[in-house]
Amino acid sequence: MKTKPFAAPYAVWMLLFTIVPIALVAAYSFTTADGALTLRNMANFLDPIYITVLLRSLGIALLCTLICLLVGYPAAYVLAQKDFDKKGVLVLLFVIPMWMNFLLRTYAWLTLLESNGLITSTVNRVIEFFGGQGNVRLLYNYGAVLMGMVYNYLPFMVLPLYTSLSRLDRRVVEAAEDLGANRSQVFLRVVFPLSVPGIFSGVTMVFMPAITTFVISRLLGGAQFKLFGDLIEQQFLFTGNWNFGSAMSLIMMVLLLLSMSIMNRYGDQEGGGIF
């Protein structure tokens, strides 16, 4: 009872910046520009063009999450080892890019991957050295967008995994070793199952921004590569159709809530939920 007054500012904040915006998005989704109730906005979403873009967004978000997991888990596992004396420096190297503005980090990749950029020019010179034609384009395609997403969201995978692995009870690992388990068995039967909550936290923290991103696809993908976030931005800023843009935002919100619910339930079954 005594904590209720301290919760009042949080309740006001949630009301003004979470509940009210969601209610406005829902209201716009089921109304026309004149304020009349309609389901046309939801029906328009069934156009094959929008479905294709949604599936593309889901696919690249899942691939980005998988790559971040495959790259981030070994990194977090090494950082969590007690005998690794450089963990503080490496953790700092993962955190430092997050201190920079998200847009600046993406612009940096735009500079590196352009025709005269450091990475593209180096790749072309290597190809020419071996007798090939150095006309490789690394910008404005699927690979550039995926690379930018992995770079920006990898710390969101590594840090939860590092936290989960560093909190493991080493006595459990030592007990498994004393019982004759080799390193592979210890990892597969002890370490990995106990790190599942960290895996689900990292997957959630990467998948949610990856599926809704639009800055990365706009800068590194160009006009030839659009994701679902780009379509929503286009409806609000360029087309001026706030009602259809709200409907698309609501659909995306529902998909995210469903995925979070499924992952949280599976995480509970594995011994720890995400939230």
Please name the helix (run of DSSP H) or strand (run of DSSP E) that holds residue 199, with its range, or none.
helix 196-212
- Quote the CA–CA distance of 136 and 189 in Å, as a whole number: 45
In a domain, 274, yes or no: no
pLDDT grade for 97, boundaries at 50, 70 and 90:
confident
pLDDT above 60: residue 271:
no
Flag whether 38 is in a domain.
no
Q: Is residue 23 part of a domain?
A: no
Does residue 214 lie in a domain region? yes
Q: Is the pLDDT of residue 275 over 50?
A: no
pLDDT digits (tens, 9 = 90+) for 225-248: 889 999 999 999 999 999 999 999
**How does residue 269 score in pLDDT terms, banded at 50, 70 and 90?**
low
Per the domain annotation, does 237 fall within a domain?
Answer: yes
Q: Assign 115 a pLDDT band (cuts: 50, 70, 90).
A: confident
| 103-121 b/e (C-beta count within 10 Å ≥ 16 → b) | eebbeebbebbbeebebbe
HSE-up of 182 (CA within 13 Å, CB side)? 1
Residue 267 binned pLDDT confidence (cut-offs 50, 70, 90): low
Q: What is the CATH number of the domain that holds 94?
A: 1.10.3720.10
Mean of all residue pLDDT scores within the chain: 87
Q: What pLDDT was estimated at residue 155?
A: 92
User: Can you give the pTM of this predicted structure?
Assistant: 0.88
Q: Judge whether 95 lies within some domain.
A: yes
**Number of alpha carbons in the 13 Å side-chain half-sphere of residue 97:** 20
What gap in Å lies between CA 198 and CA 247, rounded to an integer? 33
β-pair partners for 37: 31
Q: Which pLDDT score, from 0 to 100, does residue 205 have?
A: 92
Q: Which domain holds residue 254?
A: 59-269
Q: What is the DSSP letter of 152?
A: H
What Cα–Cα distance (Å) separates residue 202 from each residue in 16, 174, 189, 254? 28, 27, 21, 20
Distance CA 125, CA 171 (A): 53
Helix (H, G, I), strand (E, B) or coil at 273: coil
The pLDDT of 101-109, averaged and rounded, is 89
What percent of the chain is predicted at pLDDT more than 90? 48
Does some domain include residue 221? yes
Q: Residue 31's beta-bridge partner residues?
A: 37
Cα–Cα distances in Å, from 49 out to 46, 136, 234?
A: 8, 29, 14
Domain count for the chain: 1
Assess whether pLDDT exceeds 90 at residue 261.
no
Query: What pLDDT is recorded for position 272?
Result: 44
149 occurs within a structural domain: yes
3-state DSSP call for residue 141? Answer: coil
Encode pLDDT of 123-154 as tens digits.
888 888 888 877 888 889 999 999 999 999 99
Say which residue, 264 or 42, is predicted with more confidence.
42
Residues 28, 54, 110, 222, CA torsion sign? negative
